Amino acid sequence: MTRRDRISQGRAIFAQLTDDYGIRVSYRKDHATHGAAWFQDGRGHVIVPPIRGYVSLATALHEVGHILLRHPGDTTLPQELEAWGFARAKMDEAGIPWTPSVGAHAIACLMTHADATHKAGDGDGRARQIAAALRVLREAELL
């Protein structure tokens, strides 16, 4: 199976999940690689980058994970980890590779979330510890 076939398969998985669970999808028009998920009037909504590669696919599945895992709009770091785990599991199930660039993107997102939580004064110390652990793992190229 080619990379193009895997991306098409990933798009189909994303479409099936959003259709099955009535999740409203909007696609980013800029070049940002992050997304967002929220609930409005009892319905899940996601905004994701167009799925053109493994990173954007993982991001889209991550946002769907937030909806299916019933995470509120302001997520905690453990919920972010859980949503990335959801994306990884869906990609693994389909035989779609979790590439080093996907791992690096997930880590960067987690570190940004941990740093923002800490700067907002909402961190409980655990966010800083997780961010530090992720930095070590990234520097050791284990993720």
Burial of 51 (0-12, 13-18, 19+ CB in 10 A): buried
pLDDT tier at 129 (50, 70, 90 boundaries)?
low
Q: Which residue has the higher pLDDT, 119 or 87?
A: 87
pLDDT digits (tens, 9 = 90+) for 82-93: 899 999 999 999
pLDDT digits (tens, 9 = 90+) for 1-12: 899 999 999 999
Count the alpha carbons within 13 Å of 33 in the hemisphere toward its beta carbon. 14
pLDDT digits (tens, 9 = 90+) for 32-91: 888 999 999 989 999 999 999 999 999 999 999 999 999 977 777 788 888 999 999 999
Range list of H helices, 1-143: 3-20, 54-68, 77-93, 100-119, 126-139
Q: Which residue has the higher pLDDT, 17 or 30?
A: 17
Average of per-residue pLDDT across 14-23: 97
pLDDT at residue 5, rounded to an integer: 95
pLDDT at residue 32, rounded to an integer: 83
Nearest to 112 by CA among 32, 47, 31, 29: 32
pLDDT at residue 142, rounded to an integer: 46
Query: CA 133 to CA 81: how far, in whole Å?
Result: 13
Cβ neighbours of residue 81 under 8 Å, at least 6 residues apart? 110, 130
pLDDT at residue 57, rounded to an integer: 97
* For residue 25, pLDDT beyond 60: yes
Query: CA 61 to CA 70: how far, in whole Å?
Result: 14
pLDDT digits (tens, 9 = 90+) for 91-105: 999 999 999 999 889
Question: What count of other Cβ atoms lies within 10 Å of the Cβ of residue 67?
Answer: 23
Contact of 31 with 125, CB cutoff 8 Å: no
